[in-house]
Chains A and B, each alone.
Chain A
């Protein structure tokens, strides 16, 4: 299968009043059509920056230090703003935690879907007929299991619940037919039962339409339920990346191990939960050695000799000297 997205050695930093901080460090991965990559990490790990960088939505104070993002054979970083706008309408679709950010509050849901269909028709150079588009819009709403889609099409986003709006966003994706969906914590604000509905819809459209998806979340269990592959991000580094099953069932990087173990799976009567250092990830790290070393339970001399490289280990890549002392 051809690779739809190839990110190579991507480094991004932010300028602020306190100076400059690097947020992504030589991040590389690729994504095929019909594949879901789950990106997990704690707050500050750089996962949202990664999403914004691929969608070319980085804020003005961000600086891309190096690397390339090749989407469908085109280097996104070399495109002009106008070319990027075109791409956003047709190739890459972004879903945020809060769907209100993406939906137009002054436009009825049905009209927004019709607009998305118009954009698609222009791209595919097919005829656009309003009546057909309106019918298609209702079909998309029905497909994302909105009850009473004809009625919902006539409503404004503020008249719908968060879960309904997030499903409207999925309907928008169905209308636009992008090749890549980037979803940044799309279910974090939702209730468990609503989250389950949205997750199964995402998986369904990826499977049926062959879209690729980058799914960003802090919740390992959510990532586990939707991803084919998982990338674990820490302090801007990919620490481990591989098939979801093997990363979660047999984690190799100490950080992945601690992430998995920190989800409580027992009762207080069965003993205490394993605890990891409360240190701020940035304390005690100069940038010249393994970023996780200051918090790592297995830290030793080799860990502070340099930044370890990603080492191929069976079906995955791991950035840890325990699997070979090679440095960048």
Chain B
């Protein structure tokens, strides 16, 4: 572990059972079907750093976020927070406050009938604090996110979308966490409010040194907020590296396609990627992206490529593997 490492994810796998297995299936000894949402993922995040998990739905980014904060348990591999293994929220009270998550839609993550004070104070329930102490902490937290502490008696349901997301952030920071997982923090609010929330997240990080794991489908949000980007597809990291490198000179064919598909202001019609995203239940045998990849060759159909270290980032693609180079040189 390097001195600056805060969070480490090592060979993490998470599977979910698919459908129900009826009596007939059991008599016939049919195997249960499984979906691998996160498939052998490893990375580390430095203290005060922001890593973006960029991907489309089904890429496993949200599942990974839930594993990091201990809302789910990995089936294999482990997650380390400052060198000690992350336990599920039920197992470890003291770890709970150190890992926090801000969810996509504050209207559903906050109880609309609770007062703002109760919403924000919720993570403190594991600490033994007096009512006065809690009140002071809530006020401080609200001030940090730019809300007037007088809002604390209002019900969260009465607030605007932007205010609700600030309350959700106030709740995440009240327990002085080390790592905050931000799950699409600006997706459900209007564009003109997005900039304020993004600025706020940067200010808080500079002030408090939080480590962020940002889950997003939007390259422009990743570009603004993150130091490094991991591009995910069907449970795998296909490319990881410094944000500038990955978003300005993407190497993996999927990263290139994703960026070419993203519409830009003043840009013309986006260039669509061919094919449908494959099924998570029956993922491709070889490289996860092979069925849609315009550069696919024989070896891509055999085995998913490992992440290889290149200057300025890691890429899981045979186009960048030495082995693939020799294979292609040999008559393919």
Please report A residues at the B interface, Cβ cutoff 8 Å: 42-43, 147, 161, 163-164, 191-197, 199-200, 203, 218-222, 224-226, 245, 248-249, 258-260, 262-268, 272-276, 278, 280
Contact = CB atoms under 8 A, between A and B. Distances in A.
Interface in B226-265: 243-244, 257-258, 260-265
A195 B267 contact: no
B285 interface: no
Contacts of B244: 267
A284 B269 CA distance: 39
Given A264-B223, A267-B224, A268-B202, A225 B195 contact: no
Contacts of B18: none
A249 B199 contact: no
* Interface bracket on B: 35 or more
> What are the 5 tightest A-B residue pairs by CB atom distance, in nearest-first order?
A196-B261, A273-B195, A191-B56, A264-B224, A196-B270
Given A147-B275, A263-B220, A268-B202, A221 B195 contact: no
A248 B265 CA distance: 7
Given A192-B56, A263-B265, A199 B195 contact: no
A220 B194 CA distance: 14
B272 A273 contact: no
B265 A221 contact: yes
A163 B276 contact: yes
A263 B191 contact: yes
Nearest to B292: A193
Contacts, number: 123
Contacts of B224: 264, 266-268, 273
SS of A interface (majority): helix
B273 A278 contact: no
Contacts of B195: 262, 264, 273-276
A278 to B, nearest CB: 6
A218 B191 CA distance: 8
B223 A225 contact: no
Nearest to B59: A191
A274 B196 CA distance: 8
Contacts of A196: 260-263, 270-273
Interface of B: 56-57, 160, 162, 190-196, 198-199, 202, 217, 220-221, 223-225, 243-244, 257-258, 260-273, 275-277
Given A193-B272, A278-B160, 11 more contacts: A42-B190, A197-B272, A199-B269, A220-B191, A248-B265, A249-B266, A258-B192, A264-B221, A264-B223, A273-B198, A274-B195
Given A199-B269, A267-B223, A191 B275 contact: no
Contacts of B202: 268, 272
A199 B217 contact: no
B257 A199 contact: no
A10 B272 CA distance: 37
Contacts of A267: 223-224, 243-244
Contacts of A161: 276
Q: Which of A192, A200, A265 has the most CB of B within 10 A?
A: A192
Nearest to A161: B276
Contact of B270 (A199, A220, A265): A199
Contacts of A268: 202, 224-225
A192 B217 contact: yes
A267 B244 CA distance: 9
A225 B270 contact: yes
A273 B265 contact: no
Contact of A191 (B217, B223, B225, B260): B217
